Structure 1
Amino acid sequence: MVGREQFQDELEKVKGKIIELAYGAEKLLNQAVDAIYNSDIELAKQVIAYDKELDKKDMEINEAAILLIAKQQPVASDLRRLIVAIRISSDLERMGDNAKNIAKSTIHLGEDHGIDIHKSIKDMKDVAVKMIDISVKAYENEDITLARKLGELDDLIDGMYSNMLRELLEETATNPQKIQHIMQMAFSGRYVERFGDHATNIGENIMYLVKGESCDLN
């Protein structure tokens, strides 16, 4: 009995670390988008530096989960919980990478690029943040109803990104001298769009955790 209780305690610790990682990725996205709108090079550099902390957390989660699998040899739902923990942690770490890439675009643009950052990047970011919050709640409560909502929100971000990309391509026709800067903006929109994809992956993993079968939310 003690062994079972200890195992459950370790599982909860892994879950807690994943939630910390999720909110770390959310913080990084908010900061990265703030940096690009404000041409804040110093904040962009902080985002790049902090991404290394998220990488470290991802490694800790992976090591803890793998150790539990090796020591406890769990089966059925417990094994799925550990597999899902590793998968979700990987998606969250990649979210951090995307925030880092937005920060790199901010640095590439510089402080005096002379163009307005497309409003859709912030709008997409707001939806992506909502998706992270929903994915955390769905994971905490193993709630497949919440998990399904992530696919709908991902479709919303995809549509916003497509519209933004079309408008940016039109802008390159009228401002060909700004094409490199406009492309950095397009890349940044793509990085935010990828947040939605990774959040949807988390939703699919929650569905797998609860139902024991793969599910495509896209």
Structure 2
Amino acid sequence: KVYIIDEVHMLSAGAFNALLKTLEEPPDATTLVLVSSAPHALLPTIRSRCLKLAFAPLPLGLVAERVARERGADPATARLCAALAGGSLGQALALDPKALARRQEMLARIEGLAPGDARAALLLAEDLATDRASAEAHLDLLEAWYRDLATLASGGSPEGLINCDLGELAAASAARHGAPEALRRIELCRSARAKLRFNASHRLQTEQLLLRFLFPDV
């Protein structure tokens, strides 16, 4: 028998514990296939009991074509979905095209936050985290954004940017933040995403994220 558990990182804590027991004492003649687009979110005790098989990403053009056809996205948004997903069709289709379309306004608001302005950060968090899906979509956008800034701040070419249409804002933001701060914010985004997968409050995680952007020592 073969059992396939898709997006296994989305399981609850109780389900993870039950799965771990099954992995420790698997039934005879049984193969468990755990599929995940975020293996870093799995418990180390589960990862250590599995044989990892990595699949190569699909061509970005192919992913963009599918996103445009299945989600009704315009070509520019479809290409951005493909780039953000790193060639993963499942992740690209899961991205929210509406959030992508509003990304320039969202990024400009975040980059416009004044140091120490907690009130503005909390108001922005309210707009970004209307529900869990919205919060996760914005985390994806923010991580890609700060990856672009880290690339520019480290002397990388703007040709490889994911947000290639926002070059002017990216260049100004990279010069202001520098690579260490951009990398710090990437780690904050990843930490918030991991907590969301364990059913943390999407509103609270977004608020904490933006406050930690402004208050590095908190």
Name the TM tier (shorter chain). Answer: under 0.3
Q: Which has the higher helix share?
A: 1
TM-score using structure 2 length: 0.26
TM-score using structure 1 length: 0.26
